Amino acid sequence: MTDDDSRWPKAHGSGPLLLGVRHHGPGSARAVRTALDAARPAAVLIEGPPEADALIPLAADPDLRPPVALLAHAVDEPGRSAFWPFAEFSPEWVAIRWALAHGVPAHFIDLPAAHTLAWEEKKEKEKDQDQGDADDGRGSGEQVRIDPLAALAEAAGHDDPERWWEDVVEHRGPGERDPFAPFAALEEAMGALRERYGVGGHSRDLVREAHMRLRLRAARKESGDEVAVVCGAWHVPALREKTTVTADRSLLKGLPKVKADLTWVPWTHRRLARSSGYGAGIDSPGWYGHLFHAPDRPVERWLTKVARLLREEDRIVSSAHVIEAVRLAETLAALRGRPLPGLGETTDAVRAVMGEGSDVPLALVHDRLVVGDVLGEVPESAPAVPLQRDLARQQRSLRLKPEALERELELDLRGDTDAGRSRLLHRLRLLGVGWGEPARSRGSTGTFRETWRLRWEPELSVRVAEAGVWGTTVLGAAQARAEADATAAGTLADVTALAEQCLLAGLPDALPVVMRVLADRAALDADVGHLAQALPALVRSLRYGDVRGTDTGALAGVAAGLAERIFVGLPPACTALDTDAAAEMRAHVDAVHTAVGLLTETLAAAGAGGSAGSGADEHAGAGAGESAGETGGPGTGAGAGERAGVGGPAGPGAGADQGVGVDARGGGGAGVVGAGDPGADAGARAGVGAGGVGLVRAGRGDLRDRWRAVLRTLSSRDSVPGVLRGRAVRLLLDNGELGSDEAARLMGLALSPGTPPADAAAWIEGFVGGGGGLLLVHDERLLALVDSWLTGVSADAFTDVLPLLRRTFAAYEPGVRRTLGELVRRGPGDRSAGRAAPGAMTPGFAAEPDTERADAVLPVLRLLLGLTDPTDRDRTDRDRTERDTADHDTADHDTADRDPTDHDTADHETAERKAVRGETAQQETAPRSSAERAPVRRGPTECEPPARGISGTGTPEAGIPGMGKAETRTAEPGTAERAGCQAAGPGTSGCDRTGPGTSGCDTRGCGAAEDSSLAGVGV
């Protein structure tokens, strides 16, 4: 270097060295480095928030690797933040590193972030479009603003300011003779512009520049005149300007202020494209980085890089390609009048020479090289990111401490705190911060209970820091992440799962994006498997959204559309499947079946909700005769378990649980049970009376009927694998669509000797697999069919079907298996044998009810309930004698006159049929009831908690609604999956009946088996 006098640029006289740059310009960065090396200033001032001065030394830390950003955020409100990103090729970064390497003090001189952030707030309030600190006006919506580059480019006769700037500044190779000449030229140009346009609409610049001048003065006082300033070229003339301290001070007076915190955060090349802070907005950080780093021949090096990338991806690209691409790029640049091929030329060359005209490899090049996957790093010593703060704040307010010890957390979503906790955990999960993992809660999904397994691992802090790129608050970050995930999601099921997560995490703002992606994907996905996978989550979201009062109208539309498409596509998709595919499809069929049930309920609830305004009125639809109802509210006391509790506020959701459909058989009966709190009662009735009911019913029936039609098609089509046919028949049977006669006929067909044994075994698996054992236990005709088929199978074939059968039957609970075994030993269907040898009977399977044993319980019950009504018992006894055996001899006193074969198949899915039966029973017993108790309001409630049988008859006298005369007996553990819970009584104010038909109130699936039995017995 030369001596001092010539070192300091004479052009600037004795003033400070003002280096006007373009933020993130590699050419500018190079020029800044050269100029600093040549001038060796005593201090370096950089455009940036002065609060970050303390953070500058961190830049020397080898662990701080650009791209990084200075993040300023308001302390009280982490969501309000500003970023100043730095890439390796940013002139500001180069200046910082230069200062640190040469032991020269570096300072930020821009307006403090405290003011900038306060401005932001003001801006938001004013709904001003002004972008605050976008330096050179790009991305600004204000019309009076001018883009200095555009003005200069226009003067130079270029239409594209970016390209012009690249040509004259950024692409200028190294080796300029005078390192200061470009800055001088630029300053002159900007000076002319500022003269012509003033501040050009950047009104805040005046204030910022005043601050910069003040800081500059302070630095000059400290370090003399040999101070270098690196700032946006636009500001250079203003810094050169002679103003008085007082003038500058007065400009800065009275600025709004917030308490701001600053820190380094890791940044990515991708995010450099986001305009904020320095107004980065550069779309080719990778290319800029290349320009900055390439010592010479940037085009050749770049194209070689591209060639290598394409080769890695198995595309044949030879050196000859590179040569031709370079030639083309250079000729193109000449044709376009550019000094050097830019990104545009090289891209065109890559497309034409290496990519065979296709944009696909180009997309790869763009993604990997032009943008690049560079992720910055920040040392641990850097202050915490705001997301972490926001998280800490929420943890405090929700009283949810991060603990390393694993623990379970039960949440009751009805409470505000618990709901908040749930949302927080869901949001963190979305962000990849796996603090809590949802555990299986005792209730089913979508109810108001959630169980989480919490464990805070140290690396979760890192995850939080990483998630910091998505936003500064948990909410904002989760939202951004969900939107990004939706766009990038691979399969339809992913998107629906995401939609569900959005609802769970309470991200209504992200939902529209997800919904849009979902609608697009669903419209284009043709794979029934995918659609079927997607539907359940979607329906769950729908239901959940309902519970939360989220607007899920769009979701409902998509779900209904999805269901329709599944209906259309399923039958063809079920043919010609191998065993594995069939098993998979069976799972799909089951999932769709459940989903359709929920969907119809939910849609109906949504439809009827408007007319009656009560959640309970959804039962109106059920009034078509299938008599599904729900006892809700205090009406049934704890008997309805959790469901009762949720009855009022969460009516639609709870109701959706039922999965009980409409059947034409119900006819005009329209027995309706409205359920809910007593208060909602009237509303329920209103709902029933309203004209909207018909509509609702039609809507539900429509979807469900079509699903049934699909199942029928499946069940009768020979090309459909046995397991699916069997399953379809089973589902129809459970829905009451098929009579058990018909089912037996179909079973007979499937098991007829002509059918290959393997196929028949698969049919059986489909039909009675997965907890269907009770069906066989209770319908001995079916068991007899299986039995006779099995004994008829030839020895060879038997070996073949054995694994399949074993798989089917091994899945049953031990009790069921034993019962089945005993039944088979006795000989299924052989009733006379059963009667002849009662001693050999399985308990609970007597041909006749054991009245003595039943009676033995009655005194206790009477005592409990304070009843003295022997007539009732007599009747009951008489009724009972007409019945066939019961699995656990529950005192189903109120039912009567059953078809022996049709009785008491108390299986989970057979509730509808039971409900129908309950109806007949109800009619039968109604006179007695009316004789006994004044206004008849009764509806048997059947619920199936495992292994308990309850029968309760509500009594007004008792004053405790829902408590009933009940007989219970504990069945063989596992023998019964079901406990009939029948409650009837005028006291059950939640149950109302209108119309000629009566209704069965169904509270099955409530997952509160113990609760309800306790209620039935003990209250």
- Residues making contact with other proteins (CB under 8 A): 316, 318, 320-321, 324, 327-328, 331-332, 335-336, 344, 348-349, 351-353, 355-359, 520, 523-524
Q: How far is the CB of 133 from other proteins (least distance, A)?
A: 34
CB of 526 to other proteins, least distance (A): 11
Question: Which residue's CB is nearer to other proteins, number 484 or number 523?
Answer: 523
Token readout for 699 is: 């809507």
Q: Which is nearer to other proteins, 360 or 863 (CB)?
A: 360
Name residue 65's beta-bridge partners. 377
CB of 423 to other proteins, least distance (A): 32
Q: Which helix (H) or strand (E) holds 107?
A: strand 106-108
Work out how close the CB of 169 gets to other proteins at its nearest, in angstroms, rounded to a whole number.
23
> CB-wise, 523 or 664, nearer to other proteins?
523
| C-beta of 328 vs 703, nearer to other proteins | 328
- Tell me how far, at minimum, the Cβ of 525 lies from other proteins, in Å: 11
Looking at the Cβ atoms of 196 and 327, the one nearer to other proteins is 327
Which tokens go with 280? 């980065």
DSSP string, 6-26: HHS-GGGTTS-EEEEE-TT-H
Omega within 30 of 0 (cis) for the link into 298:
no
- Closest approach, Cβ 364 to other proteins, in A, equals 16
Three-state SS sequence of 382-393 = CCCCHHHHHHHH
Closer to other proteins by CB, 327 or 835: give it. 327
Under DSSP, is residue 794 helix (H, G, I), strand (E, B) or coil?
A: coil
Amino acid (one-letter) located at 237: P
Query: Which C-beta is closer to other proteins: that of 553 or that of 610?
Result: 553
Report the DSSP pairing between strands 449-454 and 436-439: antiparallel
Distances, alpha carbon 159 to alpha carbons 149, 150, 164, 335, in Å: 11, 8, 8, 16
* Nearest approach, Cβ of residue 557 and other proteins (Å): 13
Q: At what angle do helices 553-573 and 528-548 cross, to 10 degrees?
A: 150
Nearer to other proteins, 560 or 628 (CB): 560
Closest to other proteins by CB, 307 or 467: 307
Placement of tokens 């500003």 in the chain: 82
* In the block, residue with structure tokens 């509303």: 683
Q: Smallest distance from the beta carbon of 519 to other proteins, in angstroms?
A: 8
Residues 6+ apart with CB under 8 A from 958: 865, 866, 987
Distances 114 to 75, 457, 591 between C-alpha atoms, Å = 10, 34, 55
Least separation in angstroms between CB 357 and other proteins: 3
The nearer residue to other proteins, 349 or 369, going by C-beta atoms, is: 349
Q: Is 650 helix (H, G, I), strand (E, B) or coil?
A: coil
Task: Please name the helix (run of DSSP H) or strand (run of DSSP E) that holds residue 326, with its range, or none.
Answer: helix 319-335
Taking the complex as a whole, the smallest distance from the CB of residue 348 to other proteins amounts, in Å, to 5
CB of 356 to other proteins, least distance (A): 5
Could you tell me the two tokens for 320? 């000859």
Cβ closer to other proteins: 321 or 965? 321
CA distances from 634 to 443, 963, 988 (A): 20, 11, 8
At closest approach, how far in Å is the CB of 301 from other proteins? 20
| Beta carbon of residue 341, minimum distance to other proteins (angstroms, whole number) | 11
Residue 449 and residue 642: Cα distance in Å, rounded?
A: 10
For 914, the enclosing helix (H) or strand (E) is helix 911-932
- Element housing 309 (H / E): helix 298-312
Residue 312 CA to residue 264 CA, distance in Å, equals: 34
Residue 550: name the closest of 661, 646, 423 by CA: 423
Query: Which residue type, as a one-letter code, is found at position 788?
Result: S
Smaller CB distance to other proteins: residue 350 or 733? 350
Q: Which helix (H) or strand (E) holds 530?
A: helix 528-548
Nearer to other proteins, 154 or 356 (CB): 356
Identity of the residue, 250 or 358, whose beta carbon is nearer to other proteins in the bound complex: 358
Rounded CA separation 444/896 (Å) = 33
Dist CA 442 CA 138 (whole Å): 56
Q: How far is CA 972 from CA 303, 352, 561, 903, 1016, in A?
A: 77, 78, 45, 19, 19
Give the residue ranges of DSSP H helices in 623-756. Answer: 641-646, 651-656, 678-689, 692-716, 722-734, 740-750
Which residues, in sequence order, are CB contacts of 5 under 8 Å at separation 6+? none
Q: Using alpha carbons, list the distances in angstroms from residue 720 to 167, 642, 727.
A: 68, 41, 11
CA distance 758 to 803: 10
Least distance CB 328 / other proteins (angstroms)? 6
In the complex with other proteins, which residue's Cβ is closer, 321 or 730?
321
Sheet holding 436-439, edge to edge: 407-412, 449-454, 436-439
Q: How far is the CB of 359 from other proteins (least distance, A)?
A: 8
Q: How far is the CB of 523 from other proteins (least distance, A)?
A: 5
Smaller CB separation from other proteins, 277 or 342: 342
